């Protein structure tokens, strides 16, 4: 099901309980861990959510963003997993940290993305973009895929890391196109990927919209398709992979708010309600969208957990079908 549709089919946002019924929590500043370096879309989204959620939790509540980068998000995620389940340490996770890493790099990912965390709220997401250098001869998906098919293993495609969301999206693309072969070139981050594309060092890439957008606007790269089922409002002229001969193709990146396993239900309810209030605010939603995170619709912790289960199954299926043996 389309990611946005799954959000909208979720139950209404939980209401904050009356002030008199609230527990003493939070007793001190809440740490919101971002498992990446500062400056990326997940980090920006975390700072927006922290700023806007804190007042929802109480007049003196504070949420402090803490960056713990490494291993595609696994280092910070595992650190949060071992914190006390008292509501004072949370994680803003990504599709790599709780989706693709556990699927593609199980021996380097020491946690279960569902069972080892308490799901709170889906914050938002966005498509990947199939992108080529500005000087590329390819103007559409069909032309690119025909060239890859004609030269098995000779063309190159870049991602921001082995086992990440771009890597698995690219593997899924090759599978859906009939089992194509191309050389995967992993880089260290989206900015390095886009620089390589601008220089013509690789033939194509699948990268998150937040990384691709400035290059598309400046004419340094050309977007051939997005990986969502619907076109993106920032680039309505770029078709979807579904429109481009791959019916039903959908892989999106996302951010989800979780905590250590066993968070008390009242704390989870308050956090979910606070997150929902922020996502429903037009100003905050606009800031998130500008950072490359399309805000999620109304949801519940149960719906968020179900979403994580479905995403784990999808990415595990891609890994199995592609025969990936990363880190094993």
Phi/psi for 235 (5° steps) reads: -135, 70
Q: Are residues 91 and 150 in the same domain?
A: no
CATH classification at residue 20: 3.40.190.150
Strand partners, 217: none
Given 226, 244, 262, the domain boundary residue is 226
Query: What does each of the 328 residues of the chain score in pLDDT, given as a tens digit?
Result: 445 444 444 444 444 444 433 458 999 999 999 998 888 889 999 999 999 999 999 999 999 999 999 888 899 999 999 999 999 999 999 999 999 999 999 988 999 999 999 999 999 999 999 999 999 999 999 999 999 999 999 999 999 888 889 999 999 999 999 999 999 999 877 888 989 999 999 999 999 998 898 899 999 999 999 999 999 999 999 999 999 999 999 999 999 999 999 999 999 999 999 999 999 999 999 999 988 899 999 999 999 999 999 999 999 999 999 888 775 5
| Structural domain contains residue 298 | yes
Q: Are residues 120 and 132 in the same domain?
A: no
Q: Are residues 73 and 10 in the same domain?
A: yes
Q: Are residues 161 and 180 in the same domain?
A: yes
Q: Quote the domain boundaries for residue 21.
A: 3-125+252-322
Strand partners, 1: none
Q: Are residues 131 and 169 in the same domain?
A: yes
**pLDDT value of residue 9:** 40
Q: Are residues 27 and 79 in the same domain?
A: yes
Phi/psi for 42 (5° steps) reads: -65, -40
Strand partners, 159: 186
Phi/psi for 288 (5° steps) reads: -65, -45
Q: Are residues 71 and 97 in the same domain?
A: yes
- How many domains does the chain divide into? 2
Instruction: Give the separation between CA 23 and CA 290, rounded to whole angstroms.
Output: 35
| Structural domain contains residue 48 | yes
Q: Are residues 103 and 141 in the same domain?
A: no
| Structural domain contains residue 239 | no
Examine residue 69 and say whether the peptide bond preceding it is cis (omega within 30 degrees of 0): no
Q: Are residues 106 and 135 in the same domain?
A: no
Task: Give the pTM.
Answer: 0.85
Instruction: Give the separation between CA 86 and CA 266, rounded to whole angstroms.
Output: 11
| Structural domain contains residue 73 | yes
Instruction: Give the separation between CA 163 and CA 101, rounded to whole angstroms.
Output: 6
CATH classification at residue 188: 3.40.190.10
């Amino acid at each position: 099901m389309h990611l946005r549709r799954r959000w909208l089919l979720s139950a209404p946002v939980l209401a904050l309980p009356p002030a008199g019924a609230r527990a003493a929590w939070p007793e001190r500043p809440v740490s919101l861990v971002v498992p990446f370096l500062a400056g990326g879309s997940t980090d920006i989204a975390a700072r927006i959510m922290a700023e806007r959620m804190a007042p929802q939790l109480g007049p003196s509540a504070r949420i402090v963003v803490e960056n713990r980068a490494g291993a595609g998000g696994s280092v910070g995620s595992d650190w949060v997993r071992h914190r006390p389940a008292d509501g004072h340490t949370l994680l803003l996770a990504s599709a790599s940290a709780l989706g693709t890493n556990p699927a593609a790099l199980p021996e380097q990912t020491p946690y279960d993305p569902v069972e080892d965390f308490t799901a709170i709220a889906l914050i938002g997401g966005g498509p990947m973009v199939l992108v080529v250098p500005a000087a590329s001869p390819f103007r559409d998906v069909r032309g690119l895929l025909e060239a890859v098919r004609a030269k098995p293993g000779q063309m190159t495609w870049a991602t921001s890391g082995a086992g990440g969301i771009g890597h698995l999206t690219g593997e899924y693309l090759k599978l859906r196109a009939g089992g194509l072969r191309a050389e995967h070139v992993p880089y260290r981050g989206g900015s390095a990927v886009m620089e390589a594309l601008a220089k013509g060092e690789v033939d194509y890439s699948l990268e998150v919209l937040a990384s691709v957008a400035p290059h598309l606007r400046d004419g340094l790269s050309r977007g051939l398709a997005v990986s969502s089922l619907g076109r993106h409002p920032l680039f309505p002229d770029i078709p979807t992979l579904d429109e481009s001969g791959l019916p039903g193709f959908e892989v999106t990146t996302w951010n989800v708010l979780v905590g250590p396993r066993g968070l008390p239900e009242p704390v989870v309810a308050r956090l979910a309600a606070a997150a929902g209030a922020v996502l429903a605010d037009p100003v905050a939603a606009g800031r998130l969208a500008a950072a490359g995170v399309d805000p999620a619709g109304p949801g519940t912790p149960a719906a968020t957990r179900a979403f994580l289960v479905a995403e784990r199954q999808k990415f595990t299926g891609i890994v199995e079908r592609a025969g990936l043996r990363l880190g094993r």
